A and B are shown apart, each in its own frame.
Chain A
């Protein structure tokens, strides 16, 4: 039983949002659906839900086209959060669940369970507008799962959550997966994706550029990542002058250097020693998901501080954003010098 995205094409006026997009999501897995803004993630989810129709291709769950599936098959957390501000939280959750066919009594009991689980039971009888954004997000997450859907489509579920709530949501993901639910989520938080995803697909301009398990993806990349610590300073100025370095990120007591496939890690150590640096840390690391993502998508992380930061104008309006994503990619390809990326590696 799988979710099949079978060569789906979708065009908005002159913009090709999905270009023969194809991948599969096995049942009972947490699947990361990654891509830059305007890559086509939201469009794909909307086609799953039947809000949009594909120009070509088909999406199937358990062999059945989405058009034949009941709405309660899906649980959807849109990227753009929204609740009825004046409505009480519990009332609102019961309302959404009953629209999906849940009985009010069952919906009420489950809603109270999840509110307690997310440590906000006292908000059940509050108006949604009285809640913080993070708590509203948790309520919306509960609204998406309350009717017990087979497939959860979560568009940027972690955006705006503090570390405690992030951990709660991750636990919920795992619990739902263990119940046999299939979770497809998009995110710009590579760390979260790396920690949760068993399978993933990276899309760029409406096409899959990589898909498989996380281990497969890491194996497939030829780029090396080196962590280099030298005494006295974390980010020596000469790092930028080293040949074969694509990107540099500051880490905790070290700098993380992303190398071109042709560059050997030992050449970096040799260069450091030749410059008289006292090396305190040297490590050849597996490439992070973020490094793989940048390599495949060619997106400038420097523009975003981290990829996680830019959730504001993701691909809700895929057609409008796709050209700007393409412009960013073009701009990046012109660079010769390594990118200095702010923030911890």
Chain B
């Protein structure tokens, strides 16, 4: 009978019930408001961090037995560490690093250990005449600050060397070398090299999008599974399965719960995105122009949003169908937690691979996974966000995802229909396959 039943209107009737059932509860309202607040908090977090950064001044102590070297080191390091951000007025810029001369190595070391001092530069001249700069820090050896101090060491050396030249020595003026970093793996749809801020923005948005898909798949997918399991355990499914076909019920459930999830998701994401869009202006208003660091959504284009929307929709549909089958498989909602664990792990693999892809790592591995459902919604999205993806690659990935959804839908409706026949039994895999064939 099921094959003859058209999808509509019953799928729409079921979807409407599922949507209303999900969205009318107080729990839904409370959790949506909480998550909305949380998302707004995350969106405003960079401003808060910059606010506290502004208040913080890091002390760097310079130790040297040579007064001239010490003065030179303080001057150079001060210049390098306290470069005002682009657009900031040097006259009003408040330095974040305080360079000071220290006199006692033991006191400085204790201050470093206690965290009162951010770093200690020991600048000495060796017997060979070479300048030695030792930077002692609690941070990593290859941290950004250590690298800046490394540049400072070179500059101190150059200044020291030029100071030893005889008076009146004829030298060409020092010209700063050109330095152009070129990344060959950035999205260049029109052949235009992408700027660093845009790339950073895309990377940030990539993480946000991948996290959102992961959360959507796992949380809203579980909504579908628990919905089916609850229908089964409350025995209302037997009534439903005689009123509508498994295909209608399954479609209605996935669409209805998917739309409820989307509602919550938009309620959370829209205010957060709005804040992100104007984050720079908020920062400027609160902290002044010096601390505005560029709009974080500068890398967001309609194409990227569309790509995200497509993978969000397809990814959720695929996972929701599998979750629905799981709901039909169990007799009690309690059993669902155990059964859904492998699927959560699959989603986690997709999520982690996407994070790797966003970091530019695991090229071969992530390229393959970007075509393989159910990982592709995560990984291909990540590749699109930060890497160069050919149109055929995108089309192939979406095509394979659609095929996987079609196959899963057929299998899921059979499992769903079979689930109703296995009340009160602990179905072994064989019993279940047999019931699915009957359905």
Contacts and interface: CB of A to CB of B under 8 A. Distances in A.
Interface of A: 13, 49-53, 66-67, 69, 71, 74, 76, 78, 80-87, 95-96, 98-100, 140, 143, 316-317, 320
Q: Which of A53, A66, A71 has the most CB of B within 10 A?
A: A71
Contacts of A85: 234
A316 B423 contact: yes
Contact of B234 (A51, A67, A83, A99): A83
A316 B424 contact: yes
Contacts of B235: 78, 80-82
Given A50-B2, A71-B244, A99-B13, A143 B239 contact: yes
B242 A74 contact: yes
B243 A86 contact: no
B31 interface: no
A143 B236 CA distance: 12
Given A82-B235, A82-B238, A87-B21, A52 B438 contact: yes
Interface string B9-29: 010011001000100010000
B236 A99 contact: no
Contacts of A140: 239
Interface string B413-427: 000010011011100
A99 B231 CA distance: 16
A320 B238 contact: no
A209 B398 CA distance: 59
Consensus secondary structure, chain B interface: helix
Given A78-B235, A95-B13, A51 B21 contact: no
Contacts of B239: 76, 78, 82-83, 96, 140, 143
Interface pairs A-B: 6 shortest CB-CB:
A82-B235, A50-B1, A82-B236, A80-B235, A99-B243, A78-B238
Interface of B: 1-2, 4-5, 10, 13-14, 17, 21, 25, 231, 234-244, 417, 420-421, 423-425, 431, 434, 438
B21 to A, nearest CB: 7
A146 B25 CA distance: 28
A71 B246 CA distance: 13
B243 A84 contact: no
A95 B242 CA distance: 14
Contacts of A82: 231, 234-239
Nearest to A80: B235
B13 A51 contact: no
B21 A49 contact: no
Contacts of B1: 49-50, 66-67, 69, 71
B424 A99 contact: no
A317 to B, nearest CB: 6
A80 B234 CA distance: 9
A83 B236 contact: yes
A51 B241 contact: yes
7 contacts: A69-B1, A71-B1, A71-B242, A82-B235, A95-B17, A98-B13, A316-B424
Q: Which of B21, B243, B244 has the most CB of A within 10 A?
A: B243
B363 to A, nearest CB: 50
Contacts of B234: 82-85
A107 B89 CA distance: 73
Contacts of A96: 239, 243
Contact of B423 (A76, A87, A317): A317
Contacts of A74: 242
A78 B243 CA distance: 12
Contacts of A95: 13, 17
Nearest to A10: B438
A85 B267 CA distance: 28
Contacts of B417: 51
A316 B425 CA distance: 11
Given A52-B438, A74-B242, A140-B239, A84 B13 contact: no
A99 B438 contact: no
Contacts of B231: 82
Contacts of B5: 71
B33 to A, nearest CB: 21
Given A13-B434, A95-B17, A80 B425 contact: no
A87 B230 CA distance: 13
Q: Which of B14, B424, B434 has the most CB of A within 10 A?
A: B424
A95 B252 CA distance: 13
B159 to A, nearest CB: 77
A180 to B, nearest CB: 21
B415 to A, nearest CB: 14
Contacts of A67: 1, 4
Given A76-B242, A78-B242, A320-B424, 7 more contacts: A49-B1, A51-B417, A67-B4, A78-B238, A78-B239, A84-B234, A100-B243
A80 B423 contact: yes
Contacts of A69: 1
Nearest to B233: A82
Contact of A99 (B2, B10, B21): B10
Nearest to B238: A78
A40 B140 CA distance: 75
A161 B438 CA distance: 34
Contacts of B25: 86
A65 to B, nearest CB: 10
B425 to A, nearest CB: 6
A95 B13 CA distance: 8
Nearest to A79: B238
A323 to B, nearest CB: 14
Contact of B438 (A53, A84, A98): A53
Contacts of B425: 317, 320
Nearest to A51: B241
B21 A84 contact: yes
Contacts of A13: 431, 434
A83 to B, nearest CB: 6
B439 to A, nearest CB: 8
B424 to A, nearest CB: 6
A99 B244 contact: yes
Nearest to B5: A71
A74 B1 CA distance: 13
A110 to B, nearest CB: 16
Contacts of B10: 99
Contacts of B238: 78, 80, 82
B432 to A, nearest CB: 12
